[in-house]
Structure 1
Amino acid sequence: MVGSSIQKVQNGLADLSVSSKKGSWSDQMSSNSSTNEGSSYQGNQGIEVVDKSQNTHYTYNVYFDNEKILTTVTHTASVVDEWIAGVYTDFRSKLNKNNLVVGLDIEWKRIRETSSRNPIAVLQLCLAHRCLIFQISVCDNIPKSLSDFLSDVRINFAGAGIDGDATKLLTDHGLYVARTEELGPLAAYKLTKTVGDYRKSWLYKEGLMKLAKEVLNIELPKRRFVQLSNWENGFLSDEQIEYACLDALVSYKLAINLMSRGNPVHIDERRQGEPKKFWRNFDEPKKFDEKPTKQVVSDKANGKANGSKANGTKSKRTN
């Protein structure tokens, strides 16, 4: 069951958080924007402003692969509350069947020429034709609705390197992701026919860009200068918004595509062609087994879990 904060937002959006940084965030977003006032397109890909009249959030249409994604960019807890409440309302049937899929990705400010990293700055969630980009490093506070959403066992969060992202969310912000689907292993399983091919598959540890090309036959733009940009900035540029949205969108599309494919019978060449029994049933979403540490649970109970903490974790993400 989801927490009481979800029930509140579904019952009239009561007691929502109000940002204490409205003016500074809005002013910065407006003053630093060079292209956000209009539209930017290249082929069937681009971004356009939908609404910049709010102090708490801006909305955009992001176009990719002949689809239009309504994208909400915010640093405000109450906007996150409303976005999550909309998901619970609009996808109730999938939630009741425990098969709601959400693409998840994160961004942080890279520290060049060092093994350390900064805390997560941006969290992206995407499903169907909607995306939330939450500027977690400059937020007023992290809402309980987000914690409840990520820990809802009825929701399967998909991504390339998702288990690493889930660990970072837990470490940096005390946010526990209950169920995850690693796209690389899933693609390797679905697209191979023998045990040997599965074990040797290059797909197993690949990132989003190569998985998108192999599975969806689409070119995902992964501009290095955007990936290495300052994600802790209160203002996100058009390029950052588009990059963040597309990572979460493609994660979602890959998961839906792969999960819809039939399960192949993998022949074990070493056992005279016997079918291989895998350690997990790929018809069932994988569960993220790591539990929150006692320290995280204690910090959350004392209202301390929202604070970022620097650490020396090495990032192995290459996509």
Structure 2
Amino acid sequence: MKYLSRTVHLATRAVYHHGFRGLSTASGHTTEKSVPYATTLKEDGSTTKGPTKPLPESADVVVIGGGSLGCQTTYHLAKMGMKNVVLLERDRLTSGTTWHTAGLLWQLRPSDVEVELLAHTRNVVSQDLEQETGLHTGWIENGGLFIASNKQRLDEYKRLMSLGKVYGVESYVLSPAETKDLYPLMNVDDLYGTLYVPKDGTMDPAGTCTTLARASTARGAQVIENCPVTGIQVKTDDFGVKRVVAVETQYGTVRTPCVVNCAGVWARTLGQMAGVDVPLIAMHHAYVVTERIEGIQ
């Protein structure tokens, strides 16, 4: 356990209660390598080139990037009543880094603003989107378990639990023995304790973005795929302030006074098109997908 990273989400006993099934139910090893949610992104054999919709001449807001952040931004702008919102994705929705994320959503963070945002996101993913579109986001309320391998980390988790009480997030700090009762497969010999949040969960990232896009277009937004952005036009106004005036693509230009940079790991490159330095550096993270483990459903 001492080599585990800061936060590890594990399938707890709550997983069994909600009927979760592993990626593979076979008892033997699989013969093909796969990734989570691969079925959502299977190639349809289409060789269509160019944007999936004609580019509008203008837009009130152009959102660049069709991953989780871009789809969420477009959805919320449309829900706020903005009709002329356009999302531009260079390839297909979620084809950047979103499609292979683990899809974890845990509710407790050191910042109260983050806790409120996560609570809102959880409601959108677990309830609102399905009610609006009839589509399921792949939400599974399987609970989250955060591991403390030193006293300082355990103290931090106690503070997070206190913050959770203020915002109504159910959570418990467990002793090693209580953790073992909850998750019998865990070796707790070198643990100081854990933080257990029963209503944390996971979602299908690709399915969630597809559902967000469906809800956005139903409210009047446009989602245009296969349309790489090549430049952002900026002009200086009478007060010496640089302002966005248009977004350039391989297939035309969209006039707009507002651009939202949701390009993820490419956000810095996109910012440079407008003369803006985005202090972002991409870093590798890892998660593990296993075969079925006896004792975990």
TM-score normalised by structure 2 residue count: 0.28
Larger radius of gyration: 2
TM-score normalised by structure 1 residue count: 0.27
Larger % of helix: which?
1
